[in-house]
Amino acid sequence: MPSGTKMDSRKYGIASMPESLHLKKKTTKSVFNGLILKHSSLAKNAWKIHCLLDTVYVLSLGRKSDCHNTRDFLHKRKRVVSNALKKLFHLSEDLCEHEVPVIAVMATGGGLRAMTAMYGHLLALQKLNLLNCISYITTASGSTWTMTDLYKNANWSQNNLEESIQVIKSQMLKSKMDIISIQRLKHYHKEIIERTEKGHSSSFTDLWALVQEAFLHEKPDNCKLSEQRQAVNQGQNPLPIYTAMNVKDKSISTTDFREWVEFSPYEVGFLKYGASIHVEDFDSEFFMGKLVKRLPESRICFLEGELLICLIMKRALDDRYTTVYKPPSFGSGKLCEIFNDILTDRPLKGKTHNFLQSLDFDKDYLQQKEFIEWRDTMLDTSPNKLTPMDQSLCLMDIGYFINNSGPPLFKPERDVDVIILLDYEMTERLAKYCEVQGIPFPKVNPSEEDQKNLQECYVFSDENNPKAPIVLYFPLVNSSFREFKAPGVKRTASEMSGGKVNVNRCSSPYRTIHLTYTEEDFDKLINLSTYNLLCSKDYVFQAIQHAGAGVPH
């Protein structure tokens, strides 16, 4: 099929492509430099946030070690990707490190819909032998559930994902009535009290974290985010990056103030400040860059509680207040009241200790390139109102602003060439955000016809900006799947019901507020998301070929 040809997916069961496709060539580049820690020379006990690329003045955190770990991962992962591309494209020679394209998967949120579709998309990538070509996977909200589940297995991408899908399917089909039983409520109450006694600042999101854990798992999950290092320390899987937003906890909306925060098995960091700490030290107490009280690392469900807080929202933008939960005696009935608030209102933000507390700014921080890139709110010109002045962080689901996990991939040092964008919500808004911020990203301007009848895959690139990644956009749509059960394989009359998948936002069984699926609905969503990526295989391969200098066309 000639490059740039637009095909009728309903006729051939193959995804469509914009008629004018401009793809960039791979250029030589340096490997990720990582973050560097230095001591401020201004005063013995003074610490600075310098908004310079990869620079943060928090000496006591030992960031050089994490910098090494991240670089080491990428170096090992590039070898895995190089071998995978060599097999995939039948190359006669190994690719040099600078020739290996950096490919990322960017997922969005949407509750169980996002989690289920993510499994289907990853299964398709595995069937196409592309999973070993991916270096990063970023998630938000519901898709985070998929990744935290998979990364319990150190070699998950080498195992058959259909087995993992069957496990989560069996859990989703079970009755969920016991998650609000008296026994469960006693368990939630006991664990929140224990967390508070250890020094953690508990909020409503901690209760929600325990509820969603009971919803998804048979028993408590004792895994911690730092333990996911075993799944990446040999470069055997893509690096997972989980995104959240830091906001103000009182009367300032997310429209007026928000900051991107990323979590990985190695570190937690702010994109805007270039400041990071070891992930196991998250929610420990820091002052002026020094660790003053180390708290035990939380179980991963509490992180999920902060990342997934939008799952059951009915009023996503009106409520702007946070209340810190102080565990009452169980007999007071307050716990049941809190639980009822979670089911009927915005469960508010997660409250954690601020590791940036009392750090100082350079006087010229507003002129620093990296700060400018992420400067997007009214408070950014007032250093005394920014996060280092706060005692606590207030983390929340990014769905309150822009339901997309992309920002961590836009850091220049990650130098991502191809993004496979699994979008269940809003890609146009992400593109507009990047345009306003000056972040290299291709324009996304769907035609009126495309807006009415979305196809399985669209490819966007910017021929005038080699720094912009090639974006393969996969909206969650049911187009040719109605007539094709596999790419090029038409359904028989008896199989037509399998293609009836309602993904309409208003009437779909996959709406975010739905907390259970039937077996039929679950299977259909898995099959649809798998099919949509499989039938777009040619476009994915073309994008990789254009991004890799050593990959033949």
CA distances from 38 to 53, 58, 272 (A): 13, 7, 18
Distance (Å, whole) CA 84 – CA 100: 10
HSE-up of 15 (CA within 13 Å, CB side)?
A: 28
Contact, 404 vs 426, CB < 8 A?
Answer: yes
Contact, 21 vs 2, CB < 8 A?
Answer: no
- For 477, the token pair is 């749509």
Catalytic residue status for 201: no
- Number of Cβ within 10 Å of residue 463's Cβ equals 12
Residues in the chain: 553
Measured at the CA of 404, the angle between CA 400 and CA 410, to 5 degrees, comes to 125
Contact, 435 vs 441, CB < 8 A?
Answer: yes
- For 191, the token pair is 């664990």
CA-based radius of gyration for the chain: 23
Pick the catalytic residue from 149, 249, 397, 521: 397
Distance (Å, whole) CA 146 – CA 107: 10
Contact, 135 vs 540, CB < 8 A?
Answer: no
- Nearest in space to 378 (alpha carbons), one of 462, 513, 535, 255: 255
CA distances from 328 to 86, 336, 338, 352 (A): 60, 11, 11, 20
Pick the catalytic residue from 82, 141, 276, 480: 141
Catalytic residue status for 397: yes
Active site residues per annotation: 141, 397
